[in-house]
Chains A and B, each alone.
Chain A
Amino acid sequence: MSLDRRAARASEALRRAVAESELTLGMPRRRGSAVLAFASAFAGVLVIVGVLGVQARWFAGQSATTFPDTLVTTPTTVPSTTAPSTTLQTTTSTSGTPTTTAPSAATTTTLDTSPPALTIDSPRPDERFETKTVLFEGTVEPGASVTVGKYEADVVDGHWSIVLVLSPGSNVARITATDDAGNSVDATVRVFYDPPKEVDFTAFATWGSCSETPPYDVYYGTAKPGSKVEVFSEYGGGFTYADAEGNWELKVIFEKAPPDKVFTVKVKDVFGQKKYFEFVYSTK
């Protein structure tokens, strides 16, 4: 049995239980004192009400027969295999036995049990990303909402979109569309996040002193792939970029370096990490 059918049966049983019961508490009436109204409602002080001549209220044994014999109509849905649903109309008199009749155009309601249409247009299954945030989008039945876990996608004119943050490696996004009737459908897509290789910043000097004219040194090391590495000093500097593997190398000529004077060379990456070296133009 489907959940909807089970629920329809249980709901009908509960409605019938209420309809067939003699409700005995009756209707609250307006009074000058709210305290008196409250007390009388729950204590049932019929005598006091009668003696004081205050407005009568309906009490035990009176409500079920005093109320107009209104008809309580409750739709009962029986899902069909050929149609979304078939509705029977159960009519229950408040003082009578429920009777089930054929559907009528005037009173029939149809319970929508069809899940909403949902597509994932992007990303493609097993697509790989090097960026952490990825836009997921697709189409959905107008009026339905789309959620991914506890996050809700933007839905405009049947187009949904949401930006998700991926974790390194495989990520499976389960997209859920739910329509106004509570019907829902899931769709999943797997994507991969390949984060950029993590490379520590390192810097080394080849010599530290040079007797060539003009003097120079070669600096090398590792840094984030593609990032800029700069070399500063009083007498010369330069910059380069780390390659795809994160390796970098830079020859720096210190044209104005005074002979035999030790000075400091600073190497810095884009994150502000620094390494310091000493250099001397040696003439001795």
Chain B
Amino acid sequence: MRTQDDRTVAMDFDGFYRRDFRSVVGLAYALSGSRWAAEDLAQEAFMEAHRKWATIGTYEAPGAWVRRVVANMAVSAFRRRAAEARALGRYVAGRQTPLAELEPVDHEFWESVRDLPPQQAKAIALHYLEDRPVREIAEILGCSESTAKVHLHRGRLALAEKLGETA
């Protein structure tokens, strides 16, 4: 039996999903590098959010929670491979297509990001891809703002050196 509150919560999740799903897929793509697994990882994160929506829906920023989940999954080799296997299974069955490929220069950039330590890679992706301020990056990473700044700073320096760009 559903209550009025349940209906409200369900509606809120729909809106949250519609608003954030694509950008979460983008984050998963950036951090996993897998055209196949990105959507699956994002879907898994939203499924988790959906299951716990009664709690997560009360958060001030449920988007931060789902991004933290997807970022952790994306940098986990095991989770990424599992998601790729599921996606390939759907592809064979004709139910899924992979994301578009990036040009080599852009692929190289994100590959360099993924070579960074995980926290730095997440901070960089959230900063550049989602244009998030340090306060939100810290919330998603689950650390202090100062720590997030340090991750961002070190990540940028390492990226600039690796790519031969000026920081």
Contact = CB atoms under 8 A, between A and B. Distances in A.
B60 interface: no
Interface stretch (A38-46, A217-225, A273-281): A38-46
Contact of B152 (A17, A23, A60, A182): A182
A145 B24 CA distance: 29
Nearest to A5: B165
A178 B100 CA distance: 35
Interface in B35-66: 38-40, 43-44, 46-47, 50-51, 53
B143 interface: no
B47 A3 contact: no
A6 interface: yes
B30 interface: yes
A1 B108 CA distance: 14
A34 interface: yes
Interface residues of B, number: 60
A108 to B, nearest CB: 12
A17 B97 CA distance: 12
Chain B interface helix/strand/loop/mixed: helix
Contact of B51 (A25, A37, A44): A37
Range of interface residues on A (Cβ < 8 Å) = 35 or more
B149 A28 contact: no
A7 B109 contact: yes
A2 B149 contact: no
A184 interface: yes
A68 interface: yes
A14 B159 contact: no
Nearest to B100: A17
B109 A182 contact: no
Contact of A145 (B14, B30, B98, B149): B149
A11 B26 CA distance: 9
Nearest to A1: B165
Contacts of A1: 165
B26 to A, nearest CB: 4
A9 B104 CA distance: 12
Contact of A24 (B14, B96, B159): B96
B109 A6 contact: yes
9 contacts: A2-B165, A14-B110, A21-B97, A28-B46, A42-B40, A42-B43, A42-B86, A147-B150, A147-B153
Interface of A: 1-3, 6-11, 13-25, 27-30, 34, 37-38, 41-42, 44, 59-61, 67-68, 70, 72, 75, 94, 109, 111, 145, 147, 152, 176, 178, 180-182, 184
